[in-house]
Amino acid sequence: MDQPTSLADYFDGQFADDPDPWRYRTSWYEARKRALLLASLPRVRYRRGFEPGCATGELSAALATRCDALLCADFAPRAVHTARMRLAPFPLVRVESLAMPGDWPSGRFDLIVVSEFAYYLDEAGCAALASLAADALDADGTLVCCHWRHGGEAWMLDSAEVRETFALAARRASLHDVVHVEDADFLLDVWSADPLSVARRDRAR
């Protein structure tokens, strides 16, 4: 099966049938994955974060407590609408309708989180997304990537292939490995432009 002509329409159809088709708000898998991802962040606080592919904004709500400002984006109209309602209590969070990688926003970020959506792109799109993310980090920035391991639609990229694409972009940008997790259900990687580990940064204060 080939990739859908319009991924936005594909995802909007998923949200039309169910406002929470992947059980972001109710499943233990999602809650546990969010907790592990948040615990993997090497810094307590970030100045300007970006989460492309934010879906309904559940992870975004958690990231909002760690960021001075957070830009979230999705290209499915129903997901954008739901995310805006979910994130309304956070005045420093902005949700925009953007399709990745073509609508990558301007400016730089010290936190970029790509969680469980890069494998919906084709190989060229995934590579472009990885390069944009790695190159948009501030000098002390953090790049986080999480990928579901159990597949999905036949046209989706393999999670291991997506991870390697981001790892290559991170190496080209001279980012440092911070976290590498091979959970039974997902792959989680964190890269940082800052060479200091969490413990060494604490000791340097």
Q: Which CATH class is domain 7-204?
A: alpha beta
Dihedral sign, Cα of residue 70, residue 177, residue 171, residue 160: negative
Residue-level pLDDT at 201 = 80
Residue-level pLDDT at 195 = 87
Distance CA 18, CA 21 (A): 5
Residue-level pLDDT at 2 = 54
Residue-level pLDDT at 3 = 62
Residue-level pLDDT at 205 = 73
Each residue's pLDDT expressed in tens, for the chain with a length of 205 residues: 456 556 666 666 666 676 776 677 889 999 999 999 999 999 999 999 999 999 999 999 999 999 999 999 998 888 899 999 999 999 999 999 999 999 999 999 999 999 999 998 999 999 999 999 999 999 999 999 999 998 777 768 999 999 999 999 999 999 999 999 999 999 999 999 998 888 888 787 7
CB under 8 Å to 111, separation ≥6 — which residues? 41, 46, 48, 49, 50, 63, 66, 67, 141, 142, 144
Peptide bond just before 101 cis, omega within 30 deg: yes
Residue-level pLDDT at 35 = 97
Global pTM value: 0.90
Distance CA 175, CA 194 (A): 8
Collapsing DSSP to helix, strand or coil, 67 comes out as strand
What is the domain partition of the chain in residue ranges?
7-204
